[in-house]
Amino acid sequence: MLKVEINGQQFEAEPGSTIIEVADSAGIYIPRFCYHEKLSVAANCRMCLVEVEKAPKPLPACATPVTDGMVVQTLSDIAKQAQEDIMEFLLINHPLDCPICDQGGECPLQDQAMGFGGSSSVFEEVKRSVDNLDLGPLITTEMTRCIHCTRCVRFGEEVAGVMELGAIRRGEDMKISTFLGTSMDSEVSGNVIDLCPVGALTSKPYRFTARTWELNGHKGISPHDCLGSNLEIQEIRGVVKRVLPRDNEAVNECWLSDRDRYSYESVNCNDRLTMPLVRRGENYQEIEWTEALDLVSSGLGQIKETWSGEQIGAIVSPTASLEEFFLLQKILRALGSSNVDHRLRQQDFRDDLAAPVCPGTETSISKFQELDGVLIVGSNIRKELPLISLRLRRLAQQGGEIAVLNPMSFNHNFTTAQEVIVKPSMMAIVFASIARKVATATGKADLLPERLVEFATRHEFGTDVDAIADCLTGDDSDVLILLGQIAMNHPDASMLRQIASWMGENCGIRIALLPDANGVAGWVAGCVPHRLPGGRSNASPGLNSKKMIDERLKAYVLYGVEVSNDYADPVALDTALNEAEFVVSFSTFRSAVPMQADVVFPLAAFTEIDAGYINCEGVTQFASAAVKPMGQSRPGWKILRVLGNFLKLDGFDHVTSKDIITELEEVYDLSEPISVRYKPDLQAINHVVAQSDELKNGKQLDRIIDVPVYSVDPTVRRATALQSTKDADTVALLACAEELEEMGFKPGSRLAVHSKAGKVMLRVQPDDRVPRGAVYVPTGLSETSVLGSFPVVVVQVME
Amino acid sequence: MPVMPAEAILSCEMGFDQLQQAGSMIGSGGVIVMDNTTCMVEVLERIALFYFRESCGQCTPCREGTGWLYRLIYRIRTGVGSASDLDKLVNVADKIEGRTICALGDAAAWPVQSFLKHFRGEFEAKISSQVAA
- Show the 3-state SS of chain B: CCCCCHHHHCCCCCCHHHHHHHCCCCCCCCCCCCCCCCCHHHHHHHHHHHHHHHCCCCCHHHHHHHHHHHHHHHHHHCCCCCCHHHHHHHHHHHHHCCCCCCCHHHHHHHHHHHHHHHCHHHHHHHHHHCCCC
Average pLDDT for A229-234:
98
DSSP state of A263: G
Q: Using a pLDDT cut of 70, give the percent of chain A over it.
A: 98
Chain A partners of B61 at a C-beta cutoff of 8 Å?
46, 85-86, 89
Q: Which residues is A405 bridged to in the sheet?
A: A377, A420
- Check A46 against B100: CB less than 8 A apart: yes
Q: What is the pLDDT of residue A451?
A: 84
Query: What does each C-alpha distance from A163 to A122, A178, A194, A394, A622 come to in angstroms?
Result: 38, 9, 18, 16, 35
Q: CATH 3.10.20.740: which residues of chain A?
A: 1-92
Q: What is the pLDDT of residue A475?
A: 77
Each residue's pLDDT tens digit, A410-432: 999 999 999 999 999 999 999 99
- A102 Cα distance to chain centroid: 27
Average pLDDT for A577-594:
97
Helix axes A657-665, A322-334, angle to 10 degrees: 70
Q: What is the pLDDT of residue A691?
A: 55
Neighbouring residues of A312: CB distance < 8 A, sequence distance ≥ 6 = A300, A303, A304, A332, A335, A337, A339, A553, A554, A555, A556, A557
Q: What is the pLDDT of residue A470?
A: 87
User: Which helix (H) or strand (E) element contains residue A480?
Assistant: strand A479-483
Distance in angstroms (rounded) separating the CA atoms of residues A276 and A633: 8
Distance in angstroms (rounded) separating the CA atoms of residues A707 and A705: 7
Distance in angstroms (rounded) separating the CA atoms of residues A713 and A320: 11
Distance in angstroms (rounded) separating the CA atoms of residues A98 and A799: 60
Q: Please, what's the largest Cα pairwise distance for chain B?
A: 41
Using CA coordinates, name the residue in chain A closest to B74.
Answer: A125
Q: What is the pLDDT of residue A462?
A: 79
Can you tell me whether residue A721 is helix, strand or coil?
A: helix
CATH for the stretch A294-344+519-663:
3.40.50.740
Average pLDDT for A596-600:
97
Neighbouring residues of A111: CB distance < 8 A, sequence distance ≥ 6 = none
Q: At A603, phi and psi to the nearest 5?
A: -90, 140
Angle among Cα A562, A565, A570 to the nearest 5 degrees reads 90
Q: Does B68 touch chain A (CB under 8 A)?
A: yes
pLDDT band at A698 (very low <50, low <70, confident <90, very high): confident
| Arithmetic mean of pLDDT over chain A | 94
- Measure in Å the smallest separation between the Cα of A53 and chain B Cα atoms: 15
Q: Does B53 touch chain A (CB under 8 A)?
A: yes
Q: CATH 3.40.228.10: which residues of chain A?
A: 360-513
Angle among Cα A600, A606, A612 to the nearest 5 degrees reads 110
Distance in angstroms (rounded) separating the CA atoms of residues A140 and A307: 58
- DSSP per-residue codes, A129-197: --------SSEEE-GGG-----HHHHIIIIIIS----EEES-GGG-EEE-SSS-----TTTTHHHHH-S
Query: What does each C-alpha distance from A639 to A292, A293, A323, A601, B117 come to in angstroms?
Result: 11, 9, 11, 8, 82
Average pLDDT for A13-32:
96
Q: Name which CATH class applies to A1-92.
A: alpha beta
Distance in angstroms (rounded) separating the CA atoms of residues B51 and B32: 17
Give contacts of A 56-85 with B, CB under 8 A: 56-58, 82, 85
Strand A283-286 to A277-280 pairing: antiparallel
Q: Does B90 touch chain A (CB under 8 A)?
A: no
- Check A148 against B61: CB less than 8 A apart: no
Q: What is the pLDDT of residue A697?
A: 72
Q: What is the pLDDT of residue A669?
A: 95
- A533 Cα distance to chain centroid: 25
Q: What is the pLDDT of residue B133?
A: 66
Distance in angstroms (rounded) separating the CA atoms of residues A791 and A689: 9
Distance in angstroms (rounded) separating the CA atoms of residues A764 and A743: 13
Using CA coordinates, name the residue in chain B closest to A86.
Answer: B61
pLDDT band at A692 (very low <50, low <70, confident <90, very high): low
User: Which helix (H) or strand (E) element contains residue A644?
Assistant: helix A636-646
In the sheet that A216-221 helps form, which strands lie side by side, from edge to edge? A216-221, A230-236, A239-245
Burial grade of A711 (CB within 10 A; 0-12, 13-18, 19 or more): buried
Return the closest-CA partner of residue A598 out of A646, A555, A633, A566. Answer: A555
To probe the interface with A, which of B55, B59, B66, B78 has the most A CB atoms within 10 Å? B59
Each residue's pLDDT tens digit, A432-463: 999 999 999 989 989 998 888 888 888 777 78
Distance in angstroms (rounded) separating the CA atoms of residues A684 and A650: 38
Q: What is the pLDDT of residue A690?
A: 56
Q: What is the pTM of this model?
A: 0.95
Q: Does B74 touch chain A (CB under 8 A)?
A: no
- Checking if the pLDDT of A785 tops 70, the result is yes
Domain ranges of chain B: 1-33, 38-129
Q: CATH 2.40.40.20: which residues of chain A?
A: 699-798
Can you tell me whether residue A55 is helix, strand or coil?
A: coil
- Measure in Å the smallest separation between the Cα of A680 and chain B Cα atoms: 60
Q: At A611, phi and psi to the nearest 5?
A: -145, 145
Angle among Cα A28, A32, A33 to the nearest 5 degrees reads 155
CATH for the stretch A699-798:
2.40.40.20
Q: What is the pLDDT of residue A582?
A: 97
Q: Which residues is A666 bridged to in the sheet?
A: none
CATH architecture for segment(s) B38-129: Up-down Bundle (1.20)
Average pLDDT for A374-402:
96
Each residue's pLDDT tens digit, A60-115: 999 999 999 999 999 999 999 999 999 999 999 999 999 999 999 999 999 999 99
Q: Other CB atoms closer than 10 Å to residue A152's CB: what's the count?
A: 27
Q: Name which CATH class applies to A360-513.
A: alpha beta
Strand A2-6 to A9-13 pairing: antiparallel
CB pairs under 8 A between A and B: 78
Question: CB of A102 within 8 A of CB of A206?
Answer: yes
- Measure in Å the smallest separation between the Cα of A239 and chain B Cα atoms: 40
- Check B67 against A172: CB less than 8 A apart: yes
Extract the residue ranges of chain B whose pLDDT is less than 50: none
- Check B57 against A82: CB less than 8 A apart: no
pLDDT band at A244 (very low <50, low <70, confident <90, very high): very high
- Check B56 against A170: CB less than 8 A apart: yes
- A304 Cα distance to chain centroid: 38
Q: At A482, phi and psi to the nearest 5?
A: -115, 120
- Checking if the pLDDT of A369 tops 80, the result is yes
Neighbouring residues of A371: CB distance < 8 A, sequence distance ≥ 6 = A363, A395, A400, A478, A479, A480
Q: What is the pLDDT of residue A693?
A: 55
Using CA coordinates, name the residue in chain A closest to B106.
Answer: A57
Average pLDDT for A685-702:
69
- Measure in Å the smallest separation between the Cα of A152 and chain B Cα atoms: 14
Q: What is the pLDDT of residue A106?
A: 95
Question: CB of A384 within 8 A of CB of A226?
Answer: no
- Checking if the pLDDT of A689 tops 70, the result is no
